[in-house]
Structure 1
Amino acid sequence: MSKKTGLTRRSVLAGAAAMPLAATMAPHVAKAKAEMMGVGATRFNRMKLGNFEVTTLLVGTRTVENPQSIFGMNVSGAEFADASAAANIPTDAAQFFFTPTVVNTGNELVLFDTGLSPESITGALEAAGYSADQIDTVVITHMHGDHVGGVAGEGGVTFGNARHVTGRVEYDAWAATDGNKAFEGKIRPNAERFDMIEDGADVAGGITAVGAFGHTPGHMAYRIESEGQQLVIAADFANHYVWSLAYPDWEVKFDRDKAAAAATRRKMLDMLAADRIPFIGYHMPWPAVGYVEKHDGGYKYAPASYQLMLG
């Protein structure tokens, strides 16, 4: 008499568990193929500072090869490489960011620097919800082309309703110097639109000029203050968060007076670190807002997280 064989529920489950996963699943067929979009970022970042709104604008980025031809020109390749490795950044390329800033005081809309071109600055402004004709005041921190490129185009000035402000020392220095194409093309033809100010001048309520000479002859930073809170529009006192800020004595190609620029960096870094004031650096990693910390006898850049996002 033959023995009767049967399958129990337990034996079926055990057998299924022993089978390869692929054998138990139907083949997956992709419904669509997504195109590679490329590296991207937002165009604006808006924060609160007391009763003010502060908006950084990303008007462009640029990758530059051989960064030691720009930063750390007075140190060895080995020292540059060691500092880069410690910061986990490559030595063969640098990423530049170009970041104008809008401050809404509640009474005025103040734009600091105008980026690379009229198209780039107006496009970033529109992404942030502003139009060029809403700008009340345009402040130029210094006369390098990536800061004045949007002042004017073929159709005339970009911000026709705005008064324009810059430092007298900066303007006079470039007016007496040949070779600055940006100044000759964008600033000198529109000189009558500019108010010339000195270190310590008030641009608007809560906005004060701070001399930070060296990068250019009359380079200015600006202190923003509302309801006891402060922030510094630092422009180009440090052009990289490691190779300039963390090593303030390293020479930078774009600094016109390298000794004065290094002294200014130390002065600014000491002030920002001691008072724990956040700053916006024109070329800092997007969204360009951070703090300075004392670190191993030097300085360290600390990106802001949500400190200024709480309204």
Structure 2
Amino acid sequence: MAQESREEGVASGRTRFRTLKLGSFKVTVISDGTRTSGSPHETYGTDQSADAVSALLTENFLPTSAFVNGFSPVLVDTGSDLVLFDTGFGEGGRENGMGKLAEGIRAAGYAPDQVTVVVITHMHGDHIGGLTEGGKPAFVNARYVTGHVEYDFWKDTARVGTPAENGHKAVLEKVVPLAEKTTFIGDGAEVVPGISAIAAFGHSPGHLIFRVDSDGQALILTSDTANHYVLSLQRPDWEVRFDMDKAAAASTRKKVFDLIATDRLPFIGYHMPFPAVGFVERKDQGYRFVPASYQFDI
């Protein structure tokens, strides 16, 4: 099993990070910030009654009028590469208390120019916003890896005049200028030794998750497969506003978390409560999130 170090920190401005050891790899989760939003039913369980959503929240000791969403990029130090998964909001999020990734990287003992590979799981704004800083690449020594299905969708001018137009514009600004340094991959592709892609389409057209293996230990980086630790996991069939293909996203949730539950693997979810590391067990019609505590300290 992974061994989590006791290295946990809070930098200035409440930037948080948590480091764990996975075999010979060092994995660091960094908080890019959090956001409080109202009316959970307008985001989760949009195909259910507001009363049903409220009842599930109440059952889980959560408020029914608002929810907090976290954003957690991940660094994996393999000893040969420093691989960053997703880049948070970047400078565009700082006015609202986000965009803390660069500060968090430094607080964890690294520098942005040490990152050798940047992996983009999918191209929503909270994952690609930090690719640039002041109009220049934020990770000057990195190459990039992302899914070809995802890139082709967002780059296509067919997005103009559709609800995806703003995403299209963001990709033209943030991702397309880096294309010459980008490797476009699909299901099963190796990023670096010990890290491989798994297709998990639905939340976005080419959404990828990643399996990390080192010395017989493994974890899954689930990205946005589940966006709420109760509403998306205990009710994986419930529709989520941000899932672009809602039926495919629900099917993917069940497939991915069935695997995680069956193999008793730890996972890191981009929007899980910080430090975003935990397990799931099957419960009723879905899964119960079990946050990591001291399992990895012993």
The aligned amino acid for 2:38 is E
From 124, 129, 137, give the equivalent of 1:157: 137
Structure 1, unmatched stretches of 5+, are: 1-39
TM-score between the two structures when normalised by the length of structure 2 = 0.88
From 279, 282, 291, give the equivalent of 1:303: 291
Listed as ranges, the matches of 1:4-83 within 5 Å are: 43-83=16-56
Q: For residue 204 of structure 1, what is the aligned residue in structure 2?
A: 192
Kindly state the Cα deviation for residue 122 of structure 1 after the two structures are TM-superposed. 1.0
From 138, 148, 172, give the equivalent of 2:118: 138
CA contact (8 A) 1:215 1:255 kept: yes
Query: Take 2:24 and 2:37, find their aligned partners in 1: how far apart are those partners?
Result: 38
After alignment, is 290-299 or 143-152 more displaced? 290-299
Does 1:167 pair with 2:140?
no
From 63, 68, 71, give the equivalent of 1:98: 71
After alignment, is 264-273 or 112-121 more displaced? 112-121
Kindly state the Cα deviation for residue 141 of structure 1 after the two structures are TM-superposed. 0.2
Kindly state the Cα deviation for residue 81 of structure 1 after the two structures are TM-superposed. 1.3
Kindly state the Cα deviation for residue 42 of structure 1 after the two structures are TM-superposed. 5.5
Q: For residue 255 of structure 1, what is the aligned residue in structure 2?
A: 243
Listed as ranges, the matches of 1:179-218 within 5 Å are: 179=165, 180=167, 181-218=169-206
Query: Take 1:255 and 1:182, find their aligned partners in 2: how far apart are those partners?
Result: 18
Q: Secondary structure of the residue that 1:149 maps to in structure 2?
A: helix
Q: For residue 115 of structure 1, what is the aligned residue in structure 2?
A: 88
The CA RMSD over aligned residues, in Å, is 1.3
CA contact (8 A) 2:23 2:215 kept: yes
Query: Take 2:258 and 2:33, find their aligned partners in 1: how far apart are those partners?
Result: 30
Q: Secondary structure of the residue that 1:133 maps to in structure 2?
A: helix
The aligned amino acid for 1:58 is S
CA contact (8 A) 1:49 1:308 kept: no
The aligned amino acid for 1:141 is T
Structure 1 residue ranges, 4+ long, deviating more than 6 angstroms after superposition: none
Structure 2, unmatched stretches of 5+, are: 1-12, 92-98
Kindly state the Cα deviation for residue 78 of structure 1 after the two structures are TM-superposed. 1.5
Does 1:85 pair with 2:58?
yes
- What whole-Å deviation, never above 9, does each CA across 1:277-297 have from its counterpart, x for those lacking one? 110000000100010101124
Kindly state the Cα deviation for residue 298 of structure 1 after the two structures are TM-superposed. 2.4
The aligned amino acid for 2:180 is E
Kindly state the Cα deviation for residue 57 of structure 1 after the two structures are TM-superposed. 0.2
Q: Secondary structure of the residue that 2:20 maps to in structure 1?
A: strand
CA contact (8 A) 1:168 1:198 kept: yes
Q: Greater Rg, structure 1 or structure 2?
A: 1
CA contact (8 A) 2:233 2:287 kept: yes
Kindly state the Cα deviation for residue 241 of structure 1 after the two structures are TM-superposed. 0.4
Query: Take 1:108 and 1:189, find their aligned partners in 2: how far apart are those partners?
Result: 23
CA contact (8 A) 1:151 1:158 kept: yes
The aligned amino acid for 1:139 is V
Number of equivalences = 271
Query: Take 1:298 and 1:280, find their aligned partners in 2: how far apart are those partners?
Result: 18
After alignment, is 198-207 or 301-310 more displaced? 301-310
Query: Take 1:154 and 1:245, find their aligned partners in 2: how far apart are those partners?
Result: 38
After alignment, is 73-82 or 135-144 more displaced? 73-82
Q: Secondary structure of the residue that 1:308 maps to in structure 2?
A: helix
The aligned amino acid for 2:211 is R
The aligned amino acid for 1:174 is W
Query: Take 2:103 and 2:26, find their aligned partners in 1: how far apart are those partners?
Result: 19
The aligned amino acid for 2:205 is P
**Percent identity over paired residues:** 51
From 87, 106, 128, give the equivalent of 1:126: 106
Which structure is higher in RCO with an 8 Å CA cutoff and minimum separation 6?
Answer: 2
